Amino acid sequence: QQRAYFTIEGESYPADQWTNTPDTILSHVGRRLYLDDNHPLAITRKLIESQFPNPVFGNYSEKTPVVTTAQNFDVLGFPPDHPGRSRTDTYYVNEKTVLRTHTSAHQQAYFQQINRNEQTRPEEVGYTVIADVYRRDAIDRSHYPVFHQMEGAMLWKRPSPDPLAHSSATAAKIMADLDKLPRHDVGVEDPNPTIHPERNPLQAEHHSAEEVEAVGAHLKRSLENMVIRIFTEASKAAAASAGTPTEQEPLKVRWVEAYFPFTSPSWELEVFWQGDWLEILGCGVIKQELLINSDVPNRMGWAFGLGIERIAMLLFNIPDIRLFWSRDERFLSQFRAGQIARFEPFSKHPACYKDVAFWLPPAAVTGGKSAAGGAVPFHENDVMEIVRGIGGDLVEDVALIDEFTHPKTSRKSMCYRINYRSLERTLTNEETNGLHDQVREKLVGLLGVELR
């Protein structure tokens, strides 16, 4: 797949040594599923946006997925050795350009926009943005290399350019806004202090503890209200399809300390629903350095980000993430704008499991370089990418089922089990055998493994 340049959404980008974005991934660009009113991703988008209404929030989407490494990583304070930057995890268009791995890549642009619109739309101090995001990852029913995220943020103006002067006034203003948010009576577990000196530090040179308590309280209530709305809808849909109101444990939420390079303090919000704690979103108090670098030095605020498929799968009871890309009317015809109802599977075609076992090349065992200098350390995501490139949406799942190191030669052996299953039809033996043979060949050709 050596090519000189890419055209993505009408823009041209030169390829280089870093390029690792295959055409099968690029073929997903431009679908904009979140704009198809009757698609479950669009219905989910609208439900979330309704919790962040105008005029305080503008509700946006971002068309092209191509961003610079500066936007995706540097501006947000990702350290140079952060694993997210690696070519095993991220699709590079070229050295300086990637397919965005998260909607946070647009934070700076939206903060700059709030500043630009200060005179014309002074009340719009927040935004939501939805977009397709891309990650090299495992293959199973809840992971797909292209998915959608929504991000939101809200800022408050501080009265003085001196960051810590009048911080009580800022805190009071935020608390007054908190008071205007609807209250709820769902149980909330929030065991940790807002600020923890190591795990969740105060940005002491920029913020007072009082301000951070206020932003944190506003953030938490806003996001609790949002997830309560989502899961109330999900419970209603589940009860409607069961026919009778089902006996269910009441909804609960909890706040867990987290880390993101561009927020501090940071949290994850989890929801207890139908017997499991589900991680729903990441969020935090925006790093002031980022706001300073985004033309809004005299504002502070919160941001959150969440995966849309995850939530849509729960809302609509969609069992396999590949279904979102289906053009099959048996899928698409089940959804109507504004309605949340349980998906009825139209058929389940047989699974076809095929194993592939191989020895890693000697250099890959240690993760070092071979004498010839050619071999790269083995990374599972490269196996996934090969399988994806050949099987595409015909592969439901790839699982490592065995791994061992030979006691004498200390060579390492891996065995992966691939489940070939179409969502739409029964695959023939010839077809799956043909795909599997190609996978075996490519593993040898691209990773230098030795088949067993």
Q: Which amino acid is at 199?
A: R
Report whether 159 contacts 169 (CB < 8 A): yes
Number of residues that this document lists for the chain: 452
Kindly tell me which of 310 and 440 has the beta carbon lying closer to ligand PHE: 310
CB 218 to ligand PHE: min, Å: 15
Kindly tell me which of 264 and 419 has the beta carbon lying closer to ligand PHE: 264
CA atoms within 13 A of residue 119's CA, in its CB half-sphere: 1
Instruction: Outline where 243-378 has alpha helix (H).
Output: 288-292, 308-316, 329-332, 362-366
Q: How far apart are the first and last CA of the chain?
A: 27
Kindly tell me which of 307 and 361 has the beta carbon lying closer to ligand PHE: 307
Report whether 398 contacts 140 (CB < 8 A): yes
For residue 209, how many other CB atoms are within 10 A of its CB? 14
Kindly tell me which of 39 and 135 has the beta carbon lying closer to ligand PHE: 135
Question: Looking at the DSSP assignment, which residues form a beta bridge with residue 305?
Answer: 151, 282
Touching ligand PHE, residues 327-356 (CB under 6 A): none
Task: Give 140's DSSP letter.
Answer: B
Task: Give 250's DSSP letter.
Answer: P
Kindly tell me which of 266 and 432 has the beta carbon lying closer to ligand PHE: 266
Compute how many residues bind ligand PHE; rule: CB under 6 A.
11
102 binds ligand PHE (CB under 6 A): yes
Kindly tell me which of 131 and 340 has the beta carbon lying closer to ligand PHE: 131
CB 365 to ligand PHE: min, Å: 32
Kindly tell me which of 127 and 331 has the beta carbon lying closer to ligand PHE: 127
Q: Tell me which residue has its CB nearest to ligand PHE.
A: 305
Touching ligand PHE, residues 262-281 (CB under 6 A): 263
CB 104 to ligand PHE: min, Å: 4
CB 152 to ligand PHE: min, Å: 8
Q: Which of 62, 151, 211, 270 binds ligand PHE (CB under 6 A)?
A: 151
Which residues fall within 8 angstroms of residue 74, CB to CB, at 6 or more apart? none
Binding mask 379-418 for ligand PHE (x = CB under 6 A): ----------------------------------------
CA 8/CA 133 separation, integer angstroms: 14
Q: Is 424 helix (H, G, I), strand (E, B) or coil?
A: coil
CB 119 to ligand PHE: min, Å: 27
146 binds ligand PHE (CB under 6 A): no
Instruction: For the sheet with 395-405, list strands across it.
Output: 395-405, 412-420, 352-359, 450-451
DSSP string, 290-321: HHHTTT-TTEEEEEEEEEHHHHHHHHHT---G
Kindly tell me which of 208 and 266 has the beta carbon lying closer to ligand PHE: 266
Q: Is 92 helix (H, G, I), strand (E, B) or coil?
A: strand
Kindly tell me which of 256 and 357 has the beta carbon lying closer to ligand PHE: 256
Report whether 153 contacts 126 (CB < 8 A): yes
CA 272, 130, 51, 201: dihedral to nearest 10 degrees?
A: 60
Binding mask 284-323 for ligand PHE (x = CB under 6 A): x------------------xxx------------------
CB 194 to ligand PHE: min, Å: 16
Kindly tell me which of 261 and 389 has the beta carbon lying closer to ligand PHE: 261
Tokens encoding 423: 């969502």
CB 307 to ligand PHE: min, Å: 8
CB 175 to ligand PHE: min, Å: 22
Kindly tell me which of 19 and 128 has the beta carbon lying closer to ligand PHE: 128
Q: Is 46 helix (H, G, I), strand (E, B) or coil?
A: helix
CB 329 to ligand PHE: min, Å: 33
Report the sign of the C-alpha dihedral through residues 11, 12, 15, 20, in that order. positive
CA 262/CA 283 separation, integer angstroms: 10
Q: Which of 283, 285, 390, 439 binds ligand PHE (CB under 6 A)?
A: 283
260 binds ligand PHE (CB under 6 A): yes
Tokens encoding 353: 């499991």
Interacting residue ranges for ligand PHE, rule: CB under 6 A: 102, 104, 151, 260, 263, 282-284, 303-305
